[in-house]
Amino acid sequence: MEQLLNIREAAEFLNVSEMTIRRWTNQGALKCYRVGGRRARRFKLKDLQAYLEGNTRSASPEMVSLGFGELTVPDGSHITHLSVNDDEAMDVAAAFIADGLTYNESICIVTPDTEVEKIVATLQRRELDLNRFEKSSNLHFSNGMPTPQGQAEYLSQVAGSSRKRIRVFGDMTWTKDKRWRSEDLRELEEKVNITPISNMLFFCQYKLGRFSGEEAMLAIETHSHYVYRGLLKESPYRS
């Protein structure tokens, strides 16, 4: 049986970082195999050699706008926003959602019930006809599921119901209403990371006034990119 290489070995072979290997596999540019209960990435040497020689190298991944600050990310990214106050949080959320609606993408908004009216009012000030989007099934609202597994299943159902690009916006304070622990947050974010997310964007907003320092670091560790004070960075810690 042909030996399979792990991420570290594949990164050393291609002379790139492990993060780059993860990004290439998420984008479908580099072939990998998922093994075990945690669906760990494994690689065949011949696939790495073919990639290195350019035989299977794909075009650069599509870059997708976040809708604010002229920021773009590769298609399929899993992003967290560490917001410093409520005004910034709402401005960024509305811009991200409005950008998707403008380009006729499907939008899933997961937020506490208390925040729905604020989001709707902010989007309406941008002259968006939300009734039209809801009638066309382009706009979904949820206050979140009781468990990480339930939330992951809900997101899978939303993804399966649309043939368009899907933007998922999560005001993660909904997990406080559900009395989730830090372990539950990590479980959900890692479930997203092991799910194929091509043609989807996940944008998880952590309001720093509501989350501990440990939870803020958890957010950075479990997302491909993070946004803080208007700057977009690729996470060096994602596992």
- Band the pLDDT of 157: cuts 50, 70, 90: confident
**Phi/psi of residue 4, nearest 5 degrees:** -100, 140
Region(s) of the chain under CATH 1.10.1660.10: 4-53
Question: Of 75 and 221, which is predicted with more confidence?
Answer: 221
Mean of all residue pLDDT scores within the chain: 88
- Cite the DSSP H helix spans in the chain: 7-14, 18-27, 45-53, 86-102, 113-125, 130-135, 148-160, 174-177, 182-193, 213-221
Q: Going by CATH, does the domain composed of 63-234 fall within 3.40.50.300?
A: yes
Q: CATH topology for 4-53?
A: Multidrug-efflux Transporter Regulator; Chain: A; Domain 2 (1.10.1660)
The answer for residues whose C-beta is within 8 angstroms of residue 138's C-beta and 6 or more apart is: 101, 104, 105, 106, 107, 164
Task: Examine the pLDDT at 76 and tell me if it is beyond 90.
Answer: no
Rounded distance between C-alpha atoms, residue 71 and residue 75, angstroms: 13
Give residue-wise pLDDT tens across range 40-65.
Answer: 899 999 889 888 877 544 445 578 89
Residue type, 154: Y
Query: Tokens standing for 97?
Result: 């959602």
What's this model's pTM, rounded to 2 decimal places?
0.75
* 21-29: average pLDDT: 77
Mean pLDDT of 151-158: 90
The pLDDT of 110-129, averaged and rounded, is 92
At residue 1, the pLDDT reads 57
Q: What confidence score (pLDDT) does residue 59 get?
A: 44
Sheet holding 33-35, edge to edge: 4-5, 40-44, 33-35
Are the C-beta atoms of 109 and 140 separated by less than 8 Å? yes
CA dist 204 and 196 (Å) reads 17
Residues of the chain with CATH 3.40.50.300: 63-234
| Neighbour tally for 80: CB within 10 Å | 26
- Distance (Å, rounded) from C-alpha 181 to C-alpha 49? 43
Higher per-residue confidence, 203 vs 11 = 203
Question: Residue 220: what pLDDT?
Answer: 97
Q: Look at the block and give the residue holding tokens 């990310």.
A: 73
Which residues does 178 contact at the CB level (< 8 Å), separation at least 6? 144, 145, 146
Residue 37, exposed/middle/buried by CB under 10 A (0-12, 13-18, 19+)?
A: exposed
CB distance 94 to 127 below 8 Å = no
- The more confident residue out of 233 and 23 is 233
